[in-house]
A = this chain, B = another copy of it.
Amino acid sequence: MKDVAALARVSPKTVSNVVTGSAQVSEPTRQRVEDAMRQLDFVPNLSARTLRNGRTGIIGVALPDLATAFSATLAHEVVDVAHLRGLAVQIEETAAEPEREYELVSRARTHLIDGLILNPVRLEDSVIEQVDHLPPVVLIGEVEQHLTDRVFVESRTAAREITTHVIERGARRVAALGGAVHGLGGKATSGLRLQGYLEALHAAGLDPDPQLQVQLPEWTIAGAAAGMEELLDRRVHFDAVVAFTDTIAFGALHVLRRSGVRVPEDVLLTGFDDVEHAAFTNPPLTTIAFDHRDYAVAALDLLAARLDDRRRETTAQTVDHCLIVRESTGHPGAVPRGHRPD
């Protein structure tokens, strides 16, 4: 930069002004500076700028597992929206190591990021509470605490709606696939979806049956397939499967069909998230949809606001959802025959 300044016969500050556009520069001077920059193939050093302003222009996005459709979709949207705002995105994955979530929150400053969008799986409230000087964090999902900003869809309500839908379509023995396995109680997403499912059963006067609830250690297709096989092995009667994510539904659908169970004739099936593939399975999947881009925009808005003012009140923002009915839950009046062992 000094070289550029020397060549253009101005001060380094003027070069800086030209580069950042932060101050007025007269046209002839700007020309000289720009020529000099081109001549010397000058590229501003972001590390130095970062050291000076304390901002990197990078935000972290921590997701459980990029290979899972919903995480990938969310990452895609966040990267896209962030790019439009001149921010870069650093991706972190948390599924492999539970302690990684804590590490990210407590030591965000060591990573070269200004703030963090975190989709927690196992993070407990207490962890957030323990952290003294919280970095700017936006939580994705309904962790019930008020120390950070949050964005979420109303999982409990949505789960109730979709469960009610299959009941209205004639299901009486509704299985739930995807309950939490980590003892997070009612706090995490999976717990809320389970609550919504139970509420719907209750409202319809149906008794919940623990035999119809399958917990999954992993929310992947393979994990869901294993869970579905476990349900079949239990040899219980069921006529609908409410999966807690689309990815789980994909695994369930595969196992059901391979086992000769027809969807939706025998068993109704639903997902959650409305990832692209959900509309393209056979049959297409009834699911809970919400605007993934809105999700990304809301998260980035909150984070940007927090970066500008660390002291403002934390807020929670919901993203609207709606039920998308596709063929996996059949037609009105077409009651599923149900799957009975033997």
Contacts and interface: CB of A to CB of B under 8 A. Distances in A.
A281 interface: yes
A79 B62 CA distance: 11
> Max chain B CB contacts within 10 Å: which of A47, A107, A281?
A47
A203 interface: no
Interface in A33-84: 41, 43-48, 50-51, 54, 56-58, 65-67, 69, 71-73, 75-76, 79-80, 83
Contacts of A281: 254
B93 A46 contact: no
A90 interface: yes
Copies held by the complex: 2
A225 B257 CA distance: 22
A88 B75 contact: no
Interface in A221-237: 221-222, 225
Contact of A47 (B44, B50, B276): B50
In this complex, the interface size class of chain A, counting residues with CB under 8 Å from chain B, is 35 or more
Interface stretch (A109-117, A168-176, A190-198): A109-117
Nearest to A51: B47
Given A67-B72, A112-B112, A277 B250 contact: yes
Given A46-B111, A88-B112, A254 B276 contact: no
Given A76-B65, A80-B96, A43 B282 contact: no
Contacts of A189: none
Nearest to A89: B91
B109 A56 contact: no
A294 interface: no
A67 B68 CA distance: 10
Contact of A112 (B58, B96, B133): B58
A69 to B, nearest CB: 8
Contact of A132 (B41, B89, B112): B41
B112 A277 contact: no
Contact of A277 (B91, B96, B111, B277): B277
Interface in A127-149: 132-133
A264 interface: no
Contact of A90 (B47, B73, B90, B93): B90
A18 to B, nearest CB: 15
A290 to B, nearest CB: 15
A299 interface: no
5 contacts: A47-B54, A67-B72, A67-B73, A254-B280, A277-B277
